[in-house]
Structure 1
Amino acid sequence: MNTDIKNTDSRCPVEATVSLIEGKWKILILYQLSTHEVRRFNELIKIFPDITHRTLTRQLRELEQDALVHRKVYPVVPPKVEYSLTDIGKSLVPILIQLQDWGTDYMLNPQEPNTD
């Protein structure tokens, strides 16, 4: 687990939030789970071809430990594991949609930096 949210007295709320979703893959994993409700491990590997199995496993475990993602294991052979957002994870969906909208706007109308 990245941090203990319950002991954030000295941190700002933005820092606490960013600590849960920081890294290259976590926010993208959360976005995929928000748009498809349930994803299997191999589906995520196919969506993110540049991620290693080890990294995806680590990111999913951290998201699970932080109560953002639920992992459901089916007792079958070969093993079947599904990932979905928890209620806490679902509460991030409006933020993910805002990030998507902002990114779309930025990609369509990038602003040059102000050099004044």
Structure 2
Amino acid sequence: MSEGHTGVTAATPAEPIVSCAEECGVRDVQDRLGDRWTVHVVVELAAGPRRFKELQRLVDGVSQRMLTFTLRRLERDGLVRREVFPTTPPQVEYSLTATGHSMTHLIKQLVDWSLDHRAAITRSREEWDARHPA
């Protein structure tokens, strides 16, 4: 290379696009997004505050116990706000925090990616299954 060369060297395909050399917290986020109900709950709360029973109706298939557990984890992580109204019986409303709302952009990208690649993934699965009969 000549003195004063300022050319850009292209990255080789072997270099990772994303890396997390030190503890970067990705495991915590992955655990949260990877559980069965978090994405469904966040999507429903993105539309606005919801009461518990309303959320339970909207998140198809979730049990009362699992919804409670999921909401508590999201609240602990600062993604969901729980507000109790002083009525008889007490009414509880859940909403996304600013951090929770920021996560909806990631979920939208994941949904968009899934829609864009659904046919190719289905085709790949069918081809693989044909080559590897059970």
TM-score bracket relative to the smaller structure: 0.7 to 0.9
**Bigger shift: 13-22 or 62-71?**
13-22
TM-score, reference length from structure 1: 0.78
Return the letter of the residue paired with 2:37.
Answer: W
- Equivalent pair of 1:20/1:66 in contact (CA under 8 Å): no
Percent of aligned positions that are identical:
35
Task: State whether structure 2 residue 112 is matched by structure 1 residue 110.
Answer: no
Task: State whether structure 2 residue 45 is matched by structure 1 residue 33.
Answer: yes
**Runs of 5+ consecutive residues of structure 1 not aligned to the other structure:** 1-8
The RMSD of aligned alpha carbons is: 2.3
Distance 1:25 1:72 in 2: 21
Q: Which has the higher contact order (CA 8 A, sep 6+)?
A: 1
Larger Rg: 2
Task: State whether structure 2 residue 34 is matched by structure 1 residue 57.
Answer: no
| Length, aligned pairs only | 106
- After the TM superposition, which segments of 4 or more aligned residues of structure 1 sit over 6 Å from their partners? none
Counterparts of 1:24-103 in structure 2, within 5 Å, are 24-34=36-46, 36-103=47-114
- Where 2:56 maps in the other structure, the secondary structure is helix
Distance 1:83 1:110 in 2: 37
Distance 2:60 2:83 in 1: 23
Distance 2:29 2:120 in 1: 26
Return the letter of the residue paired with 2:120.
Answer: P
Pick the aligned partner of 1:18 from 15, 30, 38: 30
TM-score, reference length from structure 2: 0.68
- Equivalent pair of 2:41/2:59 in contact (CA under 8 Å): no
Give the deviation of 1:12 after TM superposition: 4.0
